[in-house]
A = this chain, B = another copy of it.
Amino acid sequence: MLPLEIPEVVIDRLPIYARALALLEKQGREVVNSQELGERLSVTPAQIRKDLSYFGRFGKQGRGYNVSRLLQELHQILGLTREWPMVLVGVGQLGRAIAAYDGFVPQGFRIVEAFDADPKIIGAKLNGLEVKPVDALPEVLRRHRAALAIVAVPAAVAQEVIDMLVESGVRAILNYAPIAPHVPPHVRIKDIDPVLALQSMTFYIKSAADAAK
């Protein structure tokens, strides 16, 4: 059923579809077609239909997609029908902001352990979580079996921390450190770096901004 190679770009779009469908569902919509969904997401209708076709036939010709049904299917496909415990490494300013972010839990992602290297931070409470020393990470992960980790440590030690997480069996990492991390093929990693995003946008506006100067 599943073709061996589903393009990664397709997988990256599925959560976007799911988010839009969740909104439609909240608004009480029962059916949506690829045309309208595409307009809402700035994606072509063909793109949406093609993407979904990798996984099955979820629509009805002449009608469109049942919103709740398709949302459920996408959750199934993405593995979002369960909760995902996560560990957080790095409890500095950034790490604390991540821990406080209220967008994770409603989507089933919960930080269940927090680690730091700073003795002044270790032992402190973070959202009712006791911050543990990074050295305890392998041992703690061996028991917890969390598959997801968030890295929010300084760039200088980020690769080291990532190696430790990989070593401890983590399967996917959300990396906030401004580095180009290395991980083995069986581990997924995504980087969040607002500075890179800004630095590529300035390319497009620099001439106009200069001209307007």
Interface residues, chain A, with chain B CB atoms under 8 Å away:
3, 11-12, 14-16, 18-20, 40-42, 77-80, 84, 86, 93-94, 97-98, 100-104, 107, 109, 145, 147-148, 150, 171-172, 174, 178, 180, 182, 188, 190, 192, 194-210, 212
Contacts and interface: CB of A to CB of B under 8 A. Distances in A.
Contacts of A94: 97, 101
B15 A172 contact: no
Number of copies: 2
Given A203-B11, A205-B79, A209-B147, A19 B190 contact: no
B103 A196 contact: no
Contacts of A20: 180
Given A42-B182, A180-B16, A195 B148 contact: no
Given A93-B100, A101-B93, A196-B19, A3 B148 contact: no
Contacts of A40: 180
A119 B64 CA distance: 44
A98 to B, nearest CB: 8
A93 B171 CA distance: 29
B204 A3 contact: yes
A78 B206 contact: yes
A16 to B, nearest CB: 6
A103 B195 contact: yes
A154 to B, nearest CB: 10
Given A20-B180, A94-B101, A178-B19, A12 B200 contact: yes
14 contacts: A12-B200, A15-B195, A78-B199, A79-B203, A97-B101, A101-B194, A104-B198, A107-B198, A147-B205, A171-B204, A172-B198, A174-B198, A188-B205, A192-B194
Contacts of A12: 196, 200
B172 A188 contact: no
Nearest to A155: B23
